[in-house]
């Protein structure tokens, strides 16, 4: 590994090894909360896990000397690492301004500072970036929150150069059965009556635009419109008042009532691969990632065994590990293919 890469990794490692007080003095509280929850702060093994995982993404993106876009980059650490490992340019987009500022600050704190990394505020899909402007596009734990998945994939394909790669990683793999109960508990908590945040938001929305509804009738209106979004809620409420017929329930009941955001939508990786094909991307199911040599513990032996199995047979990955990883390549059209 090149000396400047080692120095930059050491810089990032030093940031994540700081005390809580030192981190709070430089970063938003959520940065500390998030990375403490992930057991990364002052945990050398977990920090090494993050470094190895990002290098694996870099490898599957074939990102050496290439231009890469990260959609929904969060605090930007994975995108920053892809830039450190050797991408020519990495653009990390995020709709949270504090996260964007953290990404910029981290890039400045590297030794030497990063010149091939940009942290930018906004929805990368809606930025109207030039067609064919990236060799690689990556998303981590984003796709299960996307409202218009088909549109998202189509725009990703447009942004890729011919031969470019879309890399997707998401922990809401519907084929990993042990995670389903936890995920469903989370969904139900968002709609718990009367204080679940989405139930409360929908109740307030109905109360604002249909003020003649109050009390138990308002609660009932909020119950029957679970899963609906925006004006569809109001239309359903008004029709219910006239006909006393509740609206047919949507296919998925758990969405933010105002902006339609999904909490953690379960996705079948094979269904996603078909969506890749519809967007003009050749899909590939990748082996699950398991870090190497970071623990002196039987758990590491289990990881090594699972890595061996999943590398030999990638389809096994989605049944034994919650995080699915897919890669889609945009075909290179030959003159004969373009004319056919």
Taking residues 291-296, report their average pLDDT.
87
Give the pLDDT band of residue 265 (cuts 50, 70, 90).
confident
pLDDT number for residue 337: 54
- Total count of residues recorded for the chain: 340
pLDDT number for residue 29: 94
Q: Contact, 142 vs 166, CB < 8 A?
A: no
**In CATH, 54-174+267-289+307-333 is 3.40.50.150:** yes
pLDDT digits (tens, 9 = 90+) for 149-169: 999 999 999 999 999 999 999
Q: Contact, 106 vs 15, CB < 8 A?
A: yes
- Using a pLDDT cut of 90, give the percent of the chain over it: 89
pLDDT digits (tens, 9 = 90+) for 10-50: 999 999 999 999 999 999 999 999 999 999 999 999 999 99
Report the alpha-carbon distance of residue 263 to residue 68 in Å, rounded. Answer: 27
Q: 145 pLDDT exceeds 90?
A: no
Mean pLDDT of the chain: 94
244: left (phi over 0), alpha (psi -120 to 50) or beta: left
Q: 338 pLDDT exceeds 60?
A: no
pLDDT number for residue 339: 47
Instruction: Write down the H helix ranges in 110-248.
Output: 149-159, 180-190, 197-209, 215-224, 231-243
Distance, first Cα to last Cα, the chain: 45
Taking residues 123-139, report their average pLDDT.
94
pLDDT number for residue 336: 61
Taking residues 294-323, report their average pLDDT.
93
pLDDT number for residue 218: 96
Sequence-distant contacts of 309-316: CB under 8 A, at least 24 apart: 311/287, 314/285, 314/286, 314/287, 315/285
pLDDT digits (tens, 9 = 90+) for 204-248: 999 999 999 999 999 999 999 999 999 999 999 999 999 999 999
Q: 96 pLDDT exceeds 70?
A: yes
Q: 189 pLDDT exceeds 50?
A: yes
Nearest to residue 12, comparing CAs of 64, 82, 116?
82
Q: 340 pLDDT exceeds 50?
A: no
Pairing of strands 282-285, 324-329: antiparallel
Taking residues 265-276, report their average pLDDT.
96
The pTM score is 0.89
Q: Which of 121-130, 294-303, 310-319 has the lowest mean pLDDT?
A: 294-303
Structural domain boundaries in the chain: 54-174+267-289+307-333, 178-243
Q: How many other β-carbons are positioned within 10 Å of the β-carbon of residue 2?
A: 10
pLDDT number for residue 263: 82
Taking residues 89-118, report their average pLDDT.
97
């Amino acid at each position: 590994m090149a000396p400047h890469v080692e120095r930059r990794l050491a810089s990032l490692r030093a940031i994540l090894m700081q005390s809580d007080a030192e981190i709070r003095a430089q970063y938003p509280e959520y940065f500390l909360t998030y990375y403490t929850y992930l057991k990364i702060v002052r945990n050398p093994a977990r920090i090494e896990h993050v470094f190895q995982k990002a290098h694996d993404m870099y490898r599957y993106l074939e990102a050496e000397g290439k231009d890469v876009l990260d959609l929904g980059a969060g605090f930007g650490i994975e995108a920053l690492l892809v830039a450190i490992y050797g991408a020519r340019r990495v653009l990390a987009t995020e709709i949270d301004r504090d996260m964007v500022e953290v990404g910029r600050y981290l890039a400045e704190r590297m030794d030497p500072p990063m010149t091939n990394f940009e942290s930018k505020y906004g929805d990368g899909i809606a930025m109207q970036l030039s067609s064919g402007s990236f060799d690689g596009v990556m998303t981590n734990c984003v796709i299960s929150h996307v409202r218009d998945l088909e549109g998202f994939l189509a725009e990703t394909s447009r942004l890729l150069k011919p031969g470019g790669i879309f890399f997707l990683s998401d922990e809401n793999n519907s084929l990993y059965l042990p995670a389903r109960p936890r995920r469903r508990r989370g969904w139900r908590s968002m709609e718990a009556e009367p204080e679940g945040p989405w139930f409360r938001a929908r109740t307030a929305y109905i109360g604002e635009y249909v003020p003649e509804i109050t009390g138990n009738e308002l609660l009932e209106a909020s119950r029957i419109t679970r899963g609906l979004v925006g004006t569809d809620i109001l239309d359903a409420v008004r029709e219910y008042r006239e006909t006393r017929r509740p609206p047919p329930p949507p296919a998925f009941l758990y969405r933010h009532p105002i902006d339609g955001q999904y909490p953690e939508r379960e996705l079948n990786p094979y269904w996603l691969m078909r969506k890749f094909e519809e967007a003009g991307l050749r899909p590939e199911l990748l082996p699950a990632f398991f870090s190497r040599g970071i623990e002196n513990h039987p758990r590491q032996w289990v990881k090594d065994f699972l890595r061996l199995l999943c590398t030999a047979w990638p389809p096994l990955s989605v049944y034994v590990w919650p995080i699915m990883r897919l890669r889609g390549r945009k075909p290179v059209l030959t003159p004969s293919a373009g004319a056919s």
